[in-house]
Amino acid sequence: MAYTPVRRDRKAPPVRINLLSDTQTRPTPAMREAMARAEVGDEQVGDDPSTNLLCDRVAELMGKEAAVFLPSGTMCNVTATLVYCRPGDEILAHVSAHLIAREGGAHAALGGFQITPLQGADGKFTAETFRAALHPRTRYQPPQTLVSAEQTANIGGGTIWKKADLDEVVKIAKANGMATHMDGARLLNATVATGISARDMTAGWDSAWIDFSKGLGAPIGAVLAGTRDFIDQVWRWKQRLGGSMRQSGMCAAACTYALDHHVDRLAEDHANARALARGLAQIQGVEVQEPETNLVFFKPDGAGISANDMIAALNKRGVQIAVMDGRIRACTHLDVTSAMIEETIAHVREIVRKA
């Protein structure tokens, strides 16, 4: 079976409004300048000062002993599971989590791990659901080694795990000898929306990471944090998987710039998401999930048009957007303005009217 990479139709009109994902952000001119000025060295021998600075800052930000710069959030998740688990071990995560639904089966392919999907509303499982999934440690069942939570929950609607719920998951995991890993793809969206610091949000979790190539606007990179011993072991897998770099400081400098200039502004993305949701909700037949951060999920079925047909119609108008699990997902980010939000609402209203 051949696998074809997803490409945009080259015959489609130019994209003027890109709501496909916050991964579509492009480095700002100021970020590019910071990258050009970055002091660099060989990362593999610990000699890149810009990368070292970034890792130290993220470790401090999340209250962990150490951190490592990785090319992607997927590699953060993969290297973490490869450290924590052995072939045949069981990982517990929400059924819609990146580990299960968005990472190409990497954890099974590379580690031979079994991931048990946990059900729950809005991309989150409850403490009761987690506890009910635990089983006695016998030779008849796989060792339950790791539990993972995704903050924010992407397919759940960009929803935020409550601090109390995260703490309860940690408590249950530790009582049962399990490690805890937080997929922090949009962790800082959660901290900005709640006012809870990243250090407090990740307290008790053995490892956690921040993705810089989403709403923070860097062109590449994520940083995984945990104990020194854990990070040493992640480094071994980073090397094995080809994730070790040389003068990575140019990319790390973009991430440091994002920490200095792009964190607080995530609130603008959240405001734009709420404005989009309000406008869409006023269109008859469009069902909208109230956003908590920068993701807006909606269904136009009640207006007599399918999600795929809506996507096609929007693409013809220069609006790029995604279908995810039967719903349309719009993602706001630093390249999306309030004027673009109003224009998108107008396009949807007109498409529904014609339908």
pLDDT tens string 16-72: 999 999 999 999 999 999 999 999 999 988 999 999 999 999 999 999 999 999 999
pLDDT of residue 3: 42
pLDDT tens string 103-112: 889 999 999 9
Both 196 and 292 in a single domain?
no
End-of-domain residue from the set 261, 284, 309:
261
Q: What CATH number has the domain bearing residue 338?
A: 3.90.1150.10
Nearest Cα neighbor of 315 from 25, 102, 13, 94 is 13
Q: Per the structure, how many domains does the chain have?
A: 2
Tell me the residue range of the domain where 41 lies. Answer: 29-261
d(CA 63, CA 83): 20
Q: Which residues contact 40 (CB under 8 A, 6 or more apart)?
A: 48, 49, 50, 247, 248, 249, 250
pLDDT tens string 151-200: 999 999 999 999 999 999 999 999 999 999 999 999 999 999 999 999 99
d(CA 152, CA 193): 11
Both 168 and 49 in a single domain?
yes
With 80 as the cut, is the pLDDT of residue 13 above it?
Answer: no
Both 324 and 350 in a single domain?
yes
Quick check: is 2 in a domain?
Answer: no
Supply 52's token pair. 């070292």
d(CA 339, CA 163): 34
The model's pTM: 0.94
Quick check: is 172 in a domain?
Answer: yes
* CA–CA distances in Å: residue 55 to residues 11, 31, 94, 108, 111: 42, 18, 28, 28, 26
Both 129 and 191 in a single domain?
yes
pLDDT tens string 66-106: 999 999 999 999 999 999 999 999 999 999 999 998 888 99
